[in-house]
Amino acid sequence: MTAGADDTVRLWAAQRRDDVFAAQVDELFRRCERRIGKYLVQMVGDRGLAEDLLQDVFHDAFRTREQLRHVRNADAWLFGIARNRALNALRKGRRLQAALTRLARRSEPSEPDHELVALRDLLERHVAPEDRSLLILRYLHGFDALELGEMTGRSAEAVRQRLARARAKLIAATTEED
């Protein structure tokens, strides 16, 4: 029963082995933090909420870091976690629409970027959050269909089809509004 000093040294050594993945997540976050942060702002539109989500992504990544053993593209893995967090937040946001709208207004810059506000409005009205996420990850963050497939658990072909439908929907919406 007694765990002497030697036992403890062995225990700590075991934790250090586990830290191979912790160090990997650390390095990954250092590399991707700003991109992930930007993606979250693009998705949820509220900087305070995006900051909270970024913390959650960091926590999730550490908690599930052993998955890195089987991951081919670590950046895509991390963006996948961020995507799930953003979509969950948006789902909750629908339930708390009024509160979130107030929050979003409060954190808008004093001189809003009208083009940005119009784009967000257009996307929110015409493109589902999942599709919005795919469009942003594909066209602003450069992930290809294969990587998006890994993030979403779909085949690359299914992602391509979904992207095509999302593109068509967004283009149709802009034409309609013009």
Partner 1 sequence: MVAVSHDEERIRELLAPFDRVETVTLRRTRWRRTWLTLAVALGVALLVGGGVAFATRIGPFSGISAADHSQRAQDVLDPAVVAELRADEAPGGDQVGTRDIQSARLVGSLPSGRHVYVVTTSKARLCVVVARLAESCGNPLTQTEPLTFTVVDSDGPGGEPAVAYGVARDGVKSVSFIVGGRHETVPVRSNMFAYQPPAFVTSDSFSSVMVTLANGAIQSVR
Residue ranges in contact with partner 1 by CB under 8 A? 1-5, 7-9, 11-12, 14-16, 18-19, 22, 25-26, 29, 33-35, 37-38, 40-42, 47, 50-51, 54-55, 58-59, 62-63, 65-66, 113, 115-116, 119, 135-136, 139-140, 164, 167-168, 170-171, 174
Q: How far is the CB of 80 from partner 1 (least distance, A)?
A: 18
Q: How far is the CB of 142 from partner 1 (least distance, A)?
A: 11
Rounded to the nearest 10 degrees, how much is the dihedral formed by the CA atoms of 71, 75, 76, 78?
90
Q: What DSSP letter does each residue of 62-106 carry, written as one string? A: HHTGGGGGG-S-HHHHHHHHHHHHHHHHHHHHHHTHHHHHHHHHH
Q: Which is nearer to partner 1, 98 or 156 (CB)?
A: 156
Q: How far is the CB of 154 from partner 1 (least distance, A)?
A: 19
Residues whose CB is less than 8 angstroms from the CB of residue 54 and which lie 6 or more positions away in sequence, other chains included: 33, 36, 37, 40, 82
Rounded to the nearest 10 degrees, how much is the dihedral formed by the CA atoms of 106, 108, 45, 79?
-110
Q: Which is nearer to partner 1, 98 or 122 (CB)?
A: 122
Question: Looking at the chain, how many residues does it have?
Answer: 178
Q: How far is the CB of 87 from partner 1 (least distance, A)?
A: 17
Q: Which is nearer to partner 1, 101 or 121 (CB)?
A: 121
Q: Which is nearer to partner 1, 66 or 96 (CB)?
A: 66
Q: Is 57 helix (H, G, I), strand (E, B) or coil?
A: helix
Q: How far is the CB of 76 from partner 1 (least distance, A)?
A: 19
Distance CA 78, CA 57 (A): 8
Q: Which is nearer to partner 1, 25 or 151 (CB)?
A: 25
